[in-house]
Amino acid sequence: AQIRANRPAKAENALLQDNGPSYKDPYHSLLLGISRMMLGRFEDAKETLQQTHSNPMIRPLALFLEAQLWLKAEDNEKAITALNSALSVWPDEASWHAKLALLYQENNKLEAALPHWQNAVELEPENAEYLTSLARIYRQVGQLSDAQATYAKSLQTSSVTPKVWKEAGEVALAIGDAEKAEAWFERACSLMPSDVGVMIGSSRAAMALGNVKIALEHARKAYRLAPNNVEVLTGLGDVFAHKGKLEKAIQIYDRALRVSEEDRAVQLARSKLLLRLSRTEEAVADLRALTETESEFEDAWAALSEAYSSTGDKDAALEAASHAAKLAPRNVEYQLLLGRKFKESGQLDQALSVLTKASSLAPVDARIARELGDVHKARRQDTQALDAYLHAITLDPKEAAAYKQAGLILKVLKSYGQAADMFEKVVSINPLDPDALHQLAAVRALQLVHGGLEEQVVAL
């Protein structure tokens, strides 16, 4: 009662004066330890709590309290050890998992933090704080599909903050879900109408949907509010780059760099634009300089890989892609990039290994399935390639490249009718695709020539 009333000194005195049969009871030591914690006598509290370890029912709580004491002593490693020990006995305490996850994050151990946020969400699936924290760590480790799905759940809770709508929009945009990004940014705009970052997010979403006029309106609105904001200038430059006004975009990026000379996002955007302007050597030089000063900037390594590919230097492109993938081993984008570079350099076994790993990280990503199909095709494994392309189509019915490649394999297998179906799908997605139109005409002609006598039917 004294502890509940926040009177720790009286609680300690009462416990010390108790000479009855409960004096050596572990509960007695637990309460005494808590009162001493409240009094700030942390060493005494620690010694007292350790006396409860013999009781399996009290030990987990005592270990949790000891973790708080280690935190007071700024010894995170011992706090982590104590919390892990507590959870090994009581694994159903969501708040303990959350506490441990935060400790791992403070120590930059994201891989260790992730399962504890997952456990916290599993135990309390409607807790907005836990859902948002899990979404954020998915985003940090590069599991963007999982991040988006978790953000979507977080947004359905009643206590979600406006900032989360913006974060969710950024993730949706990063994985190419422009429609969802636009909707989430629109909601963020209604909650934070003067936030220029949200305006730039809305601009990027509109641009991804092909609404360049609306994208420019959002960017200019942000610019009027914050003309010297680097994020705003970068977003405005991106719109002009998308419109094909590349020199204008370069000028805006240069202005952003005058505001913040070392802003790596602007440097990266400018370098990518130099590639589009065919100023490849300049882009490579700038990206190399950026990776030297920002050696753990995985986006820069990825861009450098593509820049080297533009020069035809496959070995350098592969090395740069390896750097990006190593820095973010759970990031599907970089694993996908590395798989492509292995394929381009003719190292098909390594490409298959990397892409298989990427598929395990993002099993619903159609791009990975298509890339696996390309690798199997290069290995002359037509059956496995066809399976991969069909899987890509299942994951994304608008995956035109997968339809085309599946059609080419079916054509080789003399399944002309099925091949024609695939090429018709490509044409329905891209009506002006000349190769698809040519292939469709070819397989229709083959059907007529052979009259079905030599045509095979492949089980799809």
- Report the alpha-carbon distance of residue 381 to residue 384 in Å, rounded: 6
Beta-carbon contacts of residue 429 (< 8 Å; ≥ 6 apart): 398, 400, 403
Beta-carbon contacts of 275 under 8 Å, excluding residues fewer than 6 positions away, are 283, 306, 307, 310
Residue type, 292: E
Quick check: helix, strand or coil at residue 32? helix
Q: What is the pLDDT of residues 299-325, one digit of tens each?
A: 999 999 999 999 999 999 999 999 999
pLDDT the model gives residue 44? 60
Q: Where are the domains of the chain?
A: 364-460
Q: What value does the mean pLDDT take over residues 63-86?
A: 76
Cα-only R_g, the chain: 29
96 close to 86: Cβ distance less than 8 angstroms: yes
Quick one: CATH architecture of 364-460? Alpha Horseshoe (1.25)
Q: What is the pLDDT of residues 408-438, one digit of tens each?
A: 999 999 999 999 999 999 999 999 999 999 9
Q: What is the pLDDT of residue 10?
A: 55
What's the one-letter identity of residue 352? L
CA distance 33 to 59: 12
3-state secondary structure of 190: helix
d(CA 35, CA 13): 10
Averaged pLDDT score across all residues of the chain: 88
CB-hemisphere CA count at 13 Å for 313?
A: 14
Phi, psi (deg, nearest 5) at residue 236: -65, -40
* Tens digit of each residue's pLDDT (9 = 90 or more) over 362-412: 898 999 999 999 999 999 999 999 999 999 999 999 999 999 999 999 999
